[in-house]
Amino acid sequence: MQNIKAIVFDAYGTLFDVHTVVEKCEQYFPTQGKVISQIWRQKQLEYTWLRSLMGRYEDFWHVTSDALTFTLKELGLETNDDICTDILKEYLYLKPYPEVPYALNELKNHTLAILSNGSLEMLNDMVQNAGLREVFSNVISVDELKIFKPFMGVYQLAPAKLGIRKEETLFISSNSWDATGAKVFGFQVCWINRFNKTFDELNTRPDLIIKSLDELVTYIR
């Protein structure tokens, strides 16, 4: 953790809790909220990787919608377009993890940015709805490259937009595969392991592991 000129955050699962959707899912499908959310997230990620590899990019809203469609079919839950749209809209209102607003405020003497798979519209709405827009100097979406993480070129967007070198970038993610991609690319990397998960075996390790974002404050205030 040295010579850091900007802190760049992953959004989904790192700053924002993708399982915020459980409550809305429960409204339509009682008792099924958690399992819907789990399969939905897994498929959403798989579809980003598969579409990227096939060279068949569609934006994150589209992919997230398709993953929800799969999930409800897989669970045999009857649905319709209105229900799917209503559930999908929750992605614009995902809640930050509890410590995130405080921690971001403590880090505000640094340049803070987001680099995410989300489309720019999704990201801006979500950040705005969480009252965090003014915290970030840049909200950067992979959408302009039409390929998802962990394609290496995607990570380059952050130093390019911020006018810094990759070695001067501290990238923060709770997604082990994303932290791996960022490390392979050449960022300094911090993995937030809130839920005692196992780091993926992809031949690399993060520079720092913390259990919640507020811990970071002690390392780089």
| Active site residue ranges | 10
Least distance CB 51 / a second copy (angstroms): 7
From 85-93, 103-111, 119-127, 180-188, give the range in contact with a second copy by CB under 8 A.
180-188
Backbone angles phi, psi at 27, to 5 degrees: -60, -40
- Under rule CB under 8 A, residue 50 binds a second copy: yes
Number of chain positions touching a second copy (CB under 8 A): 33
CA separation for the pair 115, 87 (Å, rounded): 24
From 16-24, 128-136, 146-154, 205-213, give the range in contact with a second copy by CB under 8 A.
146-154
**Which residues neighbour 110 within 8 Å (Cβ) at sequence distance 6 or greater?**
4, 6, 7, 220
Among 181, 190, 210, 213, binds a second copy (CB under 8 A): 181
- Under rule CB under 8 A, residue 51 binds a second copy: yes
- 136/191 with CB nearer a second copy: 191
- Under rule CB under 8 A, residue 160 binds a second copy: no
- 48/169 with CB nearer a second copy: 48
Among 56, 108, 133, 146, binds a second copy (CB under 8 A): 56
Least distance CB 122 / a second copy (angstroms): 19
- β-strands 111-116, 138-141 pairing: parallel
- Under rule CB under 8 A, residue 158 binds a second copy: no
Least distance CB 46 / a second copy (angstroms): 7
CA separation for the pair 166, 155 (Å, rounded): 9
- Under rule CB under 8 A, residue 49 binds a second copy: yes
- Under rule CB under 8 A, residue 87 binds a second copy: no
CA separation for the pair 130, 180 (Å, rounded): 28
The residues binding a second copy (CB under 8 A) are 43, 46-47, 49-56, 58, 66-67, 69-70, 73-74, 148-152, 177, 180-181, 184, 197-198, 200-203
